[in-house]
Amino acid sequence: MLIDTHAHLDDAQYDEDRADVIKRATAEGIEKIINMGADITSSYKSVELAKTYDMVYAAVGIHPEDADKMTAKDDYILAELANENKKVVAIGEIGLDYHFRTDNKEIQKRVFIRQLDIARQLHLPVSIHDRDAHGDLMQILKNEGRKIEGVIHCYSGSVEMAKELFKLGWHIGIDGPLTFKNAAKLPDVVQMMPLERLLLETDCPYLAPVPNRGKRNEPAYVKHTAEKAAQLRNMAYAELAAITTENAKRLFMKE
């Protein structure tokens, strides 16, 4: 059994066949799916999906691309959503993105820190988006990440950065790009990392792994990323599946 620890099943791309997508995930041995919020609207949708489908759990949060829009009221909304729903298991997707936006770095950092504080107060882990912002991310985690657990989603950093993250107690999430020919440093990270820090993700509907690259991604495809990771570690698929599933439950599902 596998757990997809980062999905966006609330996306409009699933409006016509969401139930079928979830059935296919079950058929492929996916035990649980954690659906991420990216703004207030999608956070509400994430909670509703968790209420509708037994295997779906929710995270709530504001993505860095929407950091400008986060109001003081939104802090309370996120906290209330997480407090009132037992199937909300994380604050996410939060973080920094300097790929598309470099004009609002200070706003992104402030909003990120605010959401880290929400997670700390609620004793919830976080799912962190980091794109072209490695230096600022590490500084914030060292200064503001104390007493918080979580995962760097769709990891794109170096082996050296990964080692620093592991020292701080963080997990990394691997997605479809691990299976790409231009996977760059990610295979090296997967080969050297402590297995107890590894989580599997799809980021669906984005980043579908080979052999489905270029198509709409879905939770069932997380098995292809797991297969590649097992190959890189020279271990049985079933063993890697068991370890990553236990990792996900230990981080997100403490009940």
- Residue 171 annotated in ligand binding: no
- Residue 99 annotated in ligand binding: no
**Alpha carbon separation from 143 to 96, 113, 117, 131, 179 (Å, rounded):** 15, 10, 12, 19, 34
Strand 2-7 relative to strand 30-35: parallel, antiparallel, unpaired?
Answer: parallel
**Nearest C-alpha neighbor of 202 from the set 3, 16, 62:** 3
Strand 171-174 relative to strand 150-152: parallel, antiparallel, unpaired?
Answer: parallel
Residues in the chain: 255
Q: What is the DSSP string of 94-141?
A: EEEETTT--TTHHHHHHHHHHHHHHHHHHT--EEEEEES-HHHHHHHH
SS3 annotation, 4-70:
EEEECCCCHHHCCCHHHHHHHHHHCCEEEEEECCCCHHHHHHHHHHHHHCCCEEEEECCCHHHHHHC
Binding residue ranges for a divalent metal cation: 6, 8, 93, 129, 153, 203
Binding residue ranges: 6, 8, 93, 129, 153, 203
